[in-house]
Structure 1
Amino acid sequence: MLIVDAQIHIWKNNKPSNPNHRQIPDFTAEDVLKEMDAGGVDAAVIHPPGWDPNSNALAVEAAKQHPSRLSILANFPLDKSESRGLVDSLKSKPGTLGLRFALLQPHQQTWLTDGTIDWLWPAAERAGVPIALLGPGLLKVIGGIAERHPR
């Protein structure tokens, strides 16, 4: 049986802002692979953490170096206009399976209803890119978006 850890983080030169994560400045692909080997885990999906501004690049490099073991659900700043062009090229990045966004900050909680990220859904549909969302208390709103954008 193939065992896949569906959510891991790797980072470099940044301690996690969330105290529930390991409070170390670096947790690299090599660290992850050692722990995966020790635990009998075959593969993992990297979710680049928000506390490391270079986490997407780090994840892409890890997936490129270890394509049979590591893949990515990428992210980028949703409220920046320069991010709008990133969806189309996403699938060309090594190991990138889709996108994942955690809307945990109070200012992000309105983005699903105030138009800030309305551009994302049709862009992801056109590019064939799945999206995973984490939004506490936002399930009803997310459900409505999923109904309007089923692909």
Structure 2
Amino acid sequence: MIVTDSQVHVWWRVTPGARPHQTTPLTPSRLLSAMNGAGVDRAMALLPTWSADDNEILLSAVSKVPHRLAFIARLSPFEPADREHVLTRWRHESFRGVRVALHTENRLRTLADGTLDWLWQLADRADIPVMMYAPQGMHAIEALLAQQPALRLILDHANLPTGARNQAAATWITRLCRMAQYPNLAVKLSALPRHFTTDYPASLLANSVRALRDAFGVRRIFWGSDLTRLPCDYSTSVRQMTEDLRPVWGDDIDWVMGRGISEWLDWPPRQTPHRRLRPRRSTPTRRMPPEQQIRPPAPATTDDST
């Protein structure tokens, strides 16, 4: 099984006044080291909204290891006028799609007022997958999916609000399952340990994930870590899916852990995975004590969480 992480923020610099997930930047080289230790073969690298870096810097870094990292371009809903050039200049072996974060009121407004119509039309015409995070935009997303049936859209973090925990997260996932009728929609199961905590029954998470599987099928659900927001270490996030939730996936685990996202983004893997010795464990997934966390997340605000 070739494990592919669908959601990792990478950055070097922080926009003045912004609050990143952690104080130490996660550069591509640091990400590769973390991947090696956790048994992750490949990852989608994208810039967070609060990074002061630009897409070209990330594309240049990712292009040095195209078999392990893919480039997802960050798009602001307020891009300059020459929008088509903005996208076409990124067309490269490592380029696999674009992402828009519409998690604040002014950004969310662009989803419904036509500001982003150029993106949907261009992505449809050029067959560019789009990743989106817009928890409060469910109705507008449904309208978009109906209007653009050829648009390949992925909702990051199962479109869960940053503050949704346990039962609230389960209720939100139930709502998301109703959107599975749109075959051009896929879902990232990213940052799960942040939304389902260990002080709630494990069955709550398992039942929510099972409902998502029954609605979307295994080919439209993609595991992702959202590494810099994890309340546990990287390996624990992997094992939560491959061991704790293995009964949910059964023999289809390879689709969720990498095969699905690779096909959705047209990023075929090498014939053999980049293998390392993976650590063993004999105890259930648990939240790591603060002193053992490799990269504890900083307190998040609504605007800095994606």
Q: Could you tell me the TM-score, scaled by structure 2's length?
A: 0.45
Q: Residue deviations 1:27-73, cap 9 Å, x none?
A: 21110011100111100001211111324223212221111000022
> Residues of 2 paired with 1:17 and 1:60: CA distance?
23
Q: Which residue of 2 aligns with 1:35?
A: 34
Q: Which residue of 2 aligns with 1:22?
A: 22
Matches within 5 A, 1:102-121: 102-121=101-120
In the alignment, is the contact (CA less than 8 A) between 2:13 and 2:52 conserved in 1? Answer: no
> Residues of 2 paired with 1:73 and 1:116: CA distance?
21
Q: Which residue of 2 aligns with 1:3?
A: 3
Q: Which residue of 1 aligns with 2:43?
A: 44
Q: Secondary structure at the match of 1:82?
A: coil
In the alignment, is the contact (CA less than 8 A) between 1:47 and 1:72 conserved in 2? Answer: yes
> Residues of 1 paired with 2:105 and 2:27: CA distance?
30
Q: Residue deviations 1:75-120, cap 9 Å, x none?
A: 2222133351223444x23411111111012111111111211111
In the alignment, is the contact (CA less than 8 A) between 1:11 and 1:55 conserved in 2? Answer: no
For the aligned residue pairs, the C-alpha RMSD in angstroms reads: 1.9
In the alignment, is the contact (CA less than 8 A) between 2:76 and 2:101 conserved in 1? Answer: no
* Consecutive unaligned residues in structure 1, runs of 5 or more: none
In the alignment, is the contact (CA less than 8 A) between 1:74 and 1:100 conserved in 2? Answer: yes
In the alignment, is the contact (CA less than 8 A) between 2:75 and 2:99 conserved in 1? Answer: no
CA shift for structure 1 position 149: 0.9
* Consecutive unaligned residues in structure 2, runs of 5 or more: 151-306
Q: Which residue of 1 aligns with 2:143?
A: 144
Q: Which residue of 1 aligns with 2:63?
A: 64
Sort the Cα spacing of 1:143 and 1:89 in 2 relative to 1 into closer, same or farther, 3 A: farther
> Residues of 2 paired with 1:41 and 1:121: CA distance?
31
Q: Which amino acid aligns with 1:103?
A: L
Q: Secondary structure at the match of 2:121?
A: helix
In the alignment, is the contact (CA less than 8 A) between 1:60 and 1:94 conserved in 2? Answer: no
Structure exhibiting the larger radius of gyration computed from Cα positions: 2
Q: Residue deviations 1:114-135, cap 9 Å, x none?
A: 1211111111111110111110
In the alignment, is the contact (CA less than 8 A) between 2:71 and 2:95 conserved in 1? Answer: yes
Q: Which moved more, 1:77-86 or 1:46-55?
A: 77-86
CA shift for structure 1 position 18: 4.4
Q: Could you tell me the TM-score, scaled by structure 1's length?
A: 0.87
Q: Secondary structure at the match of 1:62?
A: helix
Q: Secondary structure at the match of 1:51?
A: coil
In the alignment, is the contact (CA less than 8 A) between 2:45 and 2:72 conserved in 1? Answer: yes
Q: Which residue of 2 aligns with 1:73?
A: 72
Sort the Cα spacing of 1:128 and 1:144 in 2 relative to 1 into closer, same or farther, 3 A: same
Query: RCO higher in 1 or 2 (8 Å CA, sep ≥ 6)?
Result: 2
Q: Which amino acid aligns with 1:149?
A: Q
